[in-house]
Amino acid sequence: MTNLTSREFGKYIKRKRLDRKWTQERLADETNMDEKYISKLENGKKDPRWSTIAKVVQALDLPSIDIKEMLEKDRT
């Protein structure tokens, strides 16, 4: 994942999921992923593929600017 660590991505998607008041189960349903996999992503125990990132970003309806800022922040 570029310079962004799995743990940082996990924290980010967990925060965004909680902002929406979604459970891991809801995010799993929205992305067609297993709830246990979502948990592993959020805990930094899985290194997501770009396709996984895209599904999560789309499900959480995150503006592309959020992702760009997240990646740029990691590079500084």
H/E segment holding residue 14: helix 6-19
pLDDT in tens, 8-23: 889 989 999 999 999 9
Asked, for residue 34, whether it belongs to a domain, the answer is yes
Domain boundaries, position 21: 6-75
Position 32 in a domain: yes
Please report whether residue 24 resides in a domain.
yes
Interval 41-74: pLDDT, tens: 999 999 888 889 889 999 999 876 666 666 666 5
Q: What is the CATH number of the domain that holds 66?
A: 1.10.260.40
Q: Is-contact 6 44, C-beta < 8 A?
A: yes
Q: Is the pLDDT of residue 1 over 50?
A: no
HSE on the CB side for 63, CA within 13 Å? 3
Residue 1 domain flag: no
Total domains in the fold of the chain: 1
In a domain, 61, yes or no: yes
Q: Is residue 20 part of a domain?
A: yes
Enter the pTM of the model: 0.79
Arithmetic mean of pLDDT, 20-39:
97
Residue 2: per-residue pLDDT: 45
Tell me how far apart the 2 most distant CA atoms of the chain are, in Å: 34
> Is 66 within 8 Å of 56 (Cβ atoms)?
no
